[in-house]
Amino acid sequence: MNVIEINNLTKTYGKSRGITDISFHVEQGEIFGFIGPNGAGKSTTIRTLLSLIYPTSGSAKIFGKDCIQYAPEIKKEIGYLPSEVFYYENMKVKDLLKYSASFYKKDCSKRIKELAEIMDLDLNKKIEDLSLGNKKKVGIVQGLLHEPKLIILDEPTSGLDPLMQQKFFELLEEENRKGATILFSSHILSEVQRLCNRVAIIKEGKIVTVEKISTLQENNYKRFKVELRSALDLQYFNISGVSKLEAKGNVVSFLFKGNINAVLRKIAEIEVGNLWIEEPDLEEIFMHYYEKEA
């Protein structure tokens, strides 16, 4: 079953770009990555999905129900962390979280304590005395305190130090094991690579591709580094499927997509000092998709 279904979603703001014809779905129980640079349309898509803004055209469903028509009902089961959090400055953290929990008509006090402990958050402090990172922690606890079935995170790690990021990822993995579906929006590829099963890449308001992370990494590309014994014209490796061809000293490197034997045959014909074949990280693959589109 699909927890999120987005069909041809478009949001225009006069002349400035919103999103155009966005379509993808998120299956129950998966951690789905939504990735693109800042300003690509990730937040607009999420806000439209949450009916915080309304689409110009197209539609979206959560739990099989139309996002606009059933918005109040759907929101009971969603935890949302916006990219920037703003709160009543003079409230104490525990009062704010208690107030937030009161919307869900269930006792969340035990869960609030648990989450505050995991995220190392002082519940007795006033919001105005918190650093940016600690405000973000309040947002994380607020998004998870009612044990939602769907967790929507928009650039969730900005402001968190590396140790906290690690704890946060572990927390998300635990929520996912308990059955929560997660939509994780980010411009940081390593996060998405670590957490997600599938990913939608968005560029300038349009979806470039929706792929399994494993497919992006395995089927598509290998990174080759060849240490040459003697000088060779770089064009020797300029064969079908090769991109990002460059040389540093006597080491030639390139990305390759296709049947690996074609490259190995070329390499077998020359004197080689060393050879590395690696999985490229998503960063490289991602840039390739962007250049291809451009």
Output the pLDDT for position 282. Answer: 66
Output the pLDDT for position 227. Answer: 95
pLDDT of 200 over the 90 cut: yes
CATH of the domain at 270: 3.30.70
Range of the domain at 237: 222-278
288 lies in a domain? no
80 lies in a domain? yes
**Mean pLDDT on 203-227:** 84
With 0-12 CB in 10 A as exposed, 13-18 as middle and 19+ as buried, what is 214? Answer: exposed
293 lies in a domain? no
Would you state the structure tokens that stand for residue 232, as one six-digit string?
């060779």
Q: Between the CA of residue 72 and those of 10, 104, 107, 211, 257, what are the distances in Å?
A: 22, 11, 19, 31, 47
291 lies in a domain? no
Residues 56-97 have pLDDT tens digits of: 999 999 999 999 999 999 999 999 999 888 898 999 999 999
Of 182, 216, 250, which marks where a domain is finished? 216
CATH of the domain at 61: 3.40.50.300
For the chain, where are the alpha helices, taking DSSP H only? 42-49, 71-75, 93-101, 109-118, 132-144, 162-177, 189-195, 213-215, 260-268, 282-293
Backbone angles phi, psi at 106, to 5 degrees: -150, 155
pTM of the model: 0.81
Does one domain contain both 119 and 238? no
Q: How many domains does the chain have?
A: 2
75 lies in a domain? yes
Does one domain contain both 147 and 247? no
